[in-house]
Amino acid sequence: MLSAFVDAFKVPELRKKILFTLGILALYRVGAYLPVPGIPFRALADAFMASSAQVSMTMLDLFTGGALSNFSVFSLGIMPYITASIIMQLMQGVIPAVGRWAREGESGRRKITQVTRWLTLGLGLINAVGYLLLFQSPAYGVQFSTAVPAWLTSIVVVFTLVAGTALIMWMGEVITQRGVGNGMSLIIFVSIVSRVPSALYSSVTSMDNTGMGIALTILIVVVILVCVPLIIFVERAQRRIPVNYAKRVQGRRMMGGQSTYIPFKVNAAGVIPIIFASCLIYFPAQLAALFNVGWLTVVANAVSTGWVNWILTAGLIVFFAYFYTSMVFDPGQTAENLQKQGGFIPGIRPGKATEEYIHNVLRRVTLPGGIFIALIAVVPSILFYFTGNQLIQAFGGTSILIMIGVALDTMTKVESQLKTHNYAGFFK
């Protein structure tokens, strides 16, 4: 694997992409520590830690890499964009025009992307106003700068937060276009990883006995390291359907007759179900931040932890595993392409029977994959609920699934470019 990293920097084009990606991610982390003008940094940090809504807000802070607790220009994080993407995904099955865009190819995708951008800015504006009202409320009681009129401070705060959201969106898209991997996923990856050092320190110092704290931290790290190969195994597992091609004469040559297979990943949706489920789970926290209503804060805290959170998380992950897989993979189109190319699945008639067979296989394969990632996401949350260890929250369950999924996806894309230059790659 180390040799693959070295080889990646030997290819000039790939080296530029990697360095460009790292540069954009470094810029994102700098932005996470740039406070919004007119905000008392220390007073807000203290009020954030003492807030009654700390449970839900802490989870939102995790996905922003600490930007929310700093009330930086990137406080809104990637959540508005992910929420907008979820809405557009759902609209493809509800609004016929959006569904047609999804089937129009590149031109349709550009339309969906443009609408997603405007929707992201709209959601960012709503969230920015909500956070402004929340931090000015009695729950936090933070006194903003009095050097300028209050209305001007409010405009500056809202404008800065929305501009930060737009900049994050641009960073994600430019990484996807000119860098390596999926930009939005990498931003979430960096946000989560950035919280690990502080979580390690908190885990060590969480107990009165430092030795016990160190022992507990080592135990947690060992368990996580043991789980990593299992997660990687499931992420790369495939169900292969054999496909034979009939022989045919084309000119003076005999074509076809070979055998191949259609690979179906056990977790075809990757980290998308986890990200989508997390965004929906913590959407009540965003509403609570927007409206600052007592009962809404109670609901947000209830769905952010405890048995309600566990059931909702598991159910939503399985749902989005099926939903996203059905969106990106069309059994009917696959069956039609096989028939046109003279291919067939042994023992299955071409056409409708092949479509039904592929659909049934896809359904059976997706279920265990969805249940597995749901268990990996929920079990550490249960452990954190009873232990209160910050390391489990920051580096377990949903976080580790996202990190491993994004890392594997990025490595796969780097490997594909290495192989075009005759290098071995990461996976042997």
Residue bearing tokens 């990606």: 21
Residue bearing tokens 């075809």: 268
Q: What is the DSSP string of 116-141?
A: HHHHHHHHHHHHHHHHHHHHHSTTT-
Which run of H or E residues covers position 401? Answer: helix 398-420
Q: Is the dihedral of CA 309, 310, 315, 316 positive or negative?
A: positive
- Full set of structural domains in the chain with CATH: 1-194 (1.10.3370.10), 196-396 (1.10.3370.10)
First to last CA, the chain: 9
Least confident piece of the model among 50-59, 175-184, 216-225: 50-59
In order of 85, 273, 355, the CA distances from 101 in angstroms are: 14, 23, 24
Residues in CB range of 378: below 8 A, 6 or more apart: 310, 313, 314, 397
Least confident piece of the model among 127-141, 150-164, 246-260, 299-313: 246-260
Instruction: Write out pLDDT tens, residues 206-256.
Output: 776 777 778 878 887 887 788 888 888 887 888 888 888 766 655 566 555
Instruction: Write out pLDDT tens, residues 138-162.
Output: 666 666 666 777 778 788 888 888 9
pLDDT of residue 53: 46
Rounded CA-CA distance 236/241 in Å is 16
The two tokens of residue 275 are 């990200």
Question: Are 64 and 75 in contact, with CB atoms under 8 Å apart?
Answer: yes
Q: From 403, 388, 134, 389, select the one nearest 285 (Cα to Cα).
A: 134
Rounded CA-CA distance 379/396 in Å is 9
pLDDT of residue 52: 45
DSSP assigned state of 262:
E
Q: For strand 259-265 and strand 238-245, is the pairing parallel, antiparallel, or unpaired?
A: antiparallel
pLDDT of residue 286: 66
3-state secondary structure of 145: coil
Rounded CA-CA distance 232/117 in Å is 33
3-state secondary structure of 103: helix
Q: From 395, 397, 57, select the one nearest 66 (Cα to Cα).
A: 57
